Structure 1
Amino acid sequence: MRSLLLLSLLAAPSLAAEPVPAPRRPVHTYSIVARDPQTGELGVAVQSHWFSVGAVVPWAEAGVGAVATQSFVDPSYGKLGLELMKAGRGAPEALAGLLAADSASQVRQVGMVDASGRVAAHTGDKCITAAGHVVGEGFSVQANMMEKDTVWPAMAKAYRETKGDLAERMLAALEAAEAQGGDIRGKQSAAIIVVSGQPTGRSWVDRKFDLRVEDHPVPLKELRRLVTLQRAYNLMNEGDLAIERKDTEAALKAYSAAEALAPGNAEMVFWHAVSLINVGKVDDALPLLQKTYKLDPRWKELLKRLPKSGLLPEDPKLMNRLLGTAK
């Protein structure tokens, strides 16, 4: 029934639900929605001088699309936009239907991309200047209340020219916006979502990045730090899956790459060591364990608790050796 209702909204927008009143203040500033043509991944990233921008602006669903809804924001553009695209409407058609049903469309700014890479954007003529957008191949950048009108062209240029995965390219677009002066009010929060191109039926697996900086003096710098840390944890997960496949070489390669991205992260070092122990590489695990003990001696206590949970062998001599108490 919900899909039929949404489809009828497109067919006869005058019969849509009652319009949502516009908020009294413009909430959000610059964002990007994009689809990676190589992987099919879909993403949205945003920065604003507003608390917790990630709670409202970015929307994405694997195999469906991504939406950024901002200016005098109406969050229903995110939810309904995804539902319309899931029902088979392309991003341009979905956005056109939602705008036609919105009596306050002149103050909205929205970017959408669907799973086929079709893109649509709207900047209402009453969005606070400087405001505008650029639609490119598989992406859209949009900004309002900017210090100057060079922001969104700089975002588009950075996205097109940056090498790397979708998260990296979207971060580059945000950083290019800030380099042009960004939001005339300053900066406060940021967020990024990247989902897989094909849904697995497990949304927690489909979300490659889902990070928010709620309140920070330099939110983009903090967001980049979190993206790097997420990459490291993604590699740890790859290592764990390789262990399950009994592919020790691939697992150790993934663990080492994770530690290189997040040096000094005791969590990664500890579980890398545990994995080494379980494949018989105890000598390689010992220096890693010593490293964690120096960071916090409580890792020793945790190690002693693992055999009961089946995460290490029940072997007192081995445990003494791992704890550095063997005689």
Structure 2
Amino acid sequence: MFHRSLLTLFGVLLLSVAGYAQQVFSKQEPFAYTYSIVARDPKTGEMAVAVQSHWFSVGTAVSWAEAGVGAVATQSFTNKSFGMRGLALLKSGKTAQQALDELLSTDEGRDVRQVAIVDSKGNVAAHTGKKCVDMAGHITGKQFSVQANMMVSDKVWPAMAKAFEQSEGQPLAERVLAALDAAQAQGGDIRGRQSAALLVVGASASQTPWDDRLVDLRVDDNPEPLKELRRLLKLHRAYDHMNAGDLAVEKNDMPTAVREYQTAEQAFPQNLEMRYWHAITLANKGQVAEAKKMLKPIFKQDPNWRTLTARLPKVGLLTVSAPELQQILSLK
């Protein structure tokens, strides 16, 4: 990541923090000048970290979280080890402040770091090094912290805090995105925007840890990363309904399956797959005529769905009679 163009761009900065930069910067510690939020939902116990920056794939460096443990944002001259080490300290029983203090105590680059932590009890701690690039600062509030560096103005992080507080009652993912939107409305990163990320984890670790990341979305390179991140969150919610529909089919609960597929389809009516499985569920429920109406334009737009339909009876995903199947496959 350490390119010549960045050396030119940040030459003045590097000189001003030479004593630190020469010691602490490496290819594994990118320049994540950015704004972010870590937060916990007091009702659900969910925890989140969300970030936007003018840096490629910012979510791979800044955002860290683990169900039942906490969330960490590490930025400015990013020390990525703070993510995993911070979570490990929380897991060992440290509070957010204790974990942060321990991370910084042995870090020679603490003056160019910006870090925020929220633990599973809602304790928060944040640090903005005295050599972070202006405008830089943070605000800690009730179970959240907002932080920013290299901003257009010092209005960015107060706007984030206000937006988060005023969005109380909404799902946590939507609340932290509201904070990012508020930051951008105040000008955000002085360099512009490029990438964003959203990570939400559960209140407690489950027996299926692969399911503990409730939302895990990244926009690695986009002229409107927050707009795209919101679109992806909406799509994520729609596919949650699709998954719920699939589960209902497994349980032979067709009314629930139809309801879930309809909800997903309404969110993204142009998504062929959502429309397709809704139609297949209707067919399995005996509403073949209605299913045919839905499948006809799908087959016309993409014939591969017709081919797939012919394969479904073999595995029990389409249970219509042979004549009904022929009617469906013969749609023009």
TM-score by length of structure 1 reads 0.89
SS at match of 2:32: coil
Partner of 1:142: 147
Instruction: Tell me, in whole angstroms, the C-alpha distance in 1 between the residues paired with 2:205 and 2:324.
Output: 43
Matched, 1:31 2:36: yes
Query: Which whole-Å CA distance do the structure 2 matches of 1:291 and 1:31 have between them?
Result: 44
Contact kept in structure 1, 2:181 and 2:226, CA below 8 Å: yes
Match of 2:71 among 66, 70, 74: 66
Other-structure match for 1:21: 24
Task: Please give the per-residue CA displacement for 1:156-182, whole angstroms capped at 9, x wherever unaligned.
Answer: 101111242011111110000000000
Matched, 1:129 2:108: no
Extract unaligned runs of 5+ from structure 1. 1-19
The C-alpha deviation readout for 1:261-319, integer Å capped at 9, x for no partner, is 11200011111222232333333322222232233122111111112233223742121
Task: Measure the CA separation in 1 of the matches of 2:63 and 2:101.
Answer: 19
Give 1:25 shift: 6.4
Q: Residue in 1 aligned with 2:60? A: 55
* More off after superposition, 244-253 vs 132-141: 244-253
Q: Name which of structure 1's ranges 82-91 and 149-158 shifts more when overlaid on structure 2.
A: 82-91
Per-residue CA shift, 1:249-271, capped at 9, x if unaligned?
Answer: 33222211111111200011111
Match for 1:54: what amino acid?
Answer: G
SS of residue paired to 1:69: strand
Stretches of structure 2 that go unaligned for 5 or more consecutive residues are 1-22
The percent of aligned pairs where both chains have the same amino acid is 55
Paired AA for residue 88 in structure 1: G
2:305 aligned to 299, 309, 314, which one?
A: 299
Matched, 1:100 2:105: yes
Quote the residue 1:193 is aligned against. 199
Q: Distance in 2 between matches of 1:282 and 1:139?
A: 51
Q: RMSD value over aligned CA atoms?
A: 1.8
Query: Do residues 119 (structure 1) and 124 (structure 2) align?
Result: yes
Following superposition, the deviation at residue 234 of structure 1 comes to 0.9
The alpha-carbon distance between structure 1 residues 127 and 204, as it changes in their structure 2 partners (threshold 3 A), is: same
Distance 1:174 1:78, change over 3 A: same
- Distance in 1 (alpha carbons) for counterparts of 2:241 and 2:303: 26
Deviations 1:171-206 (A, max 9, x none): 110000000000000100001011111222323322
Letter paired with 2:24: P
1:234/1:311 Cα in 2 relative to 1: closer, same or farther (>3 Å)? same
**1:243 positional shift:** 2.8
Match of 1:88 in 2: 93
Task: Tell me the alpha carbon deviations over residues 134-169 of structure 1, each in whole angstroms, 9 at most, x when there is no partner.
Answer: 111111111000000000000010111124201111
CA deviations on 1:105-137 (whole Å, 9 max, x unpaired) are 111111111111111111111100100011111
Of 152, 167, 175 in structure 1, the residue corresponding to residue 173 of structure 2 is 167
Secondary structure in structure 2 of the residue aligned to 1:32: strand
Over 6 Å off, 4+ runs: none
Work out the number of aligned pairs and report it. Answer: 307
